[in-house]
Structure 1
Amino acid sequence: MNFSITRLEDWQQVVDKILPQLQHPILLLKGNLGAGKTTFTQFLLKNLGSTDEVNSPTYSIVNEYTSPKGKIFHFDLYRLKDLDEVYDIGIEEYIDNAYLCIIEWPEVYEEELYGMKFHTMNIINSETAREISFE
């Protein structure tokens, strides 16, 4: 699926199309700084029935949210330098106990996911829009 959005409100249309396709417990969010990864997460969690305030986990590395479907963990792996640091935060336990894990900046951990089922969303900023792909 591909989308092109130009306004903040357009994220809702993206979530409306993606939510029925969300079949795996892991969602990787890729994009440069300010691309809209956390903004997308805010819209997604609201549509999953969470009433929690969604913030970027840049400094905490992981935020936990509740939803009627179960726990949702939102990771930001940007500051982690290597795979050992990812395992030190207990990522496997989070994944095993979550309805959904949303992982921003997943590159340091991505190879470990091969063989598992997950979705990937890429967000690219252009001068006039955000180009989004979802697999």
Structure 2
Amino acid sequence: MEIHSLNEWQNMVDEILPKLKYNILLLKGNLGAGKTTFTQFLLKNLGSTDEVSSPTYSIVNEYSTSKGKVYHFDLYRLKSIEEVYDIGIEEYLDNSFLCIIEWPEVYEEELYGLNYHTMSIMNNGESREVSFD
């Protein structure tokens, strides 16, 4: 799936939202690929009126939706699995409608045996190439 303009993110959300079966969504992609932009559109579609921003410095942002709490993580600055556990990620996972995890690589091995979705967004200059499973 390809995205060429900001408006096309809505089409992407329309396609992905019915496929969300699990409460964990790993968001992968290079800097500036559109991970937070996708999250903004997704949360709006889940009924959130909160202002959505990148959790780069806070590490986790919490949003209210009509379906329940959504936690948006950015694990980019975390260097070890211990740091991930220190933020209490398991508690968030247990008490959420959805956890969106940007830069999940430091934590991904710990998800073995759990059900989750992976979405990759690659910025190739002209457009964004998106895959979802």
List runs of 5+ in structure 1 lacking aligned partners.
Answer: none
Aligned to 1:80: 78
| Structure 1 runs, 4 residues or longer, greater than 3 Å off | none
Query: Structure 2 CA distance, aligned partners of 1:55 and 1:127?
Result: 23
Query: Structure 1 CA distance, aligned partners of 2:53 and 2:98?
Result: 16
Query: Structure 2 CA distance, aligned partners of 1:93 and 1:116?
Result: 15
Question: For residues 1-135 of structure 1, what are the structure 2 equivalents within 5 Å?
Answer: 3-135=1-133
TM-score by length of 1: 0.98
Query: Structure 2 CA distance, aligned partners of 1:33 and 1:125?
Result: 8
List runs of 5+ in structure 2 lacking aligned partners.
Answer: none
Query: Structure 1 CA distance, aligned partners of 2:11 and 2:104?
Result: 24
Superposition CA RMSD, Å: 0.4
How many Å apart are 1:115 and its aligned residue?
Answer: 0.5
How many Å apart are 1:65 and its aligned residue?
Answer: 0.2
Query: Structure 2 CA distance, aligned partners of 1:37 and 1:114?
Result: 23
SS at match of 1:64: strand
| Equivalent AA in structure 1 for residue 83 of structure 2 | E
| Equivalent AA in structure 2 for residue 83 of structure 1 | I
How many Å apart are 1:127 and its aligned residue?
Answer: 2.6
SS at match of 1:102: strand
Query: Structure 1 CA distance, aligned partners of 2:117 and 2:45?
Result: 18
How many Å apart are 1:82 and its aligned residue?
Answer: 0.4
SS at match of 2:17: helix
TM-score by length of 2: 0.99
SS at match of 1:45: helix
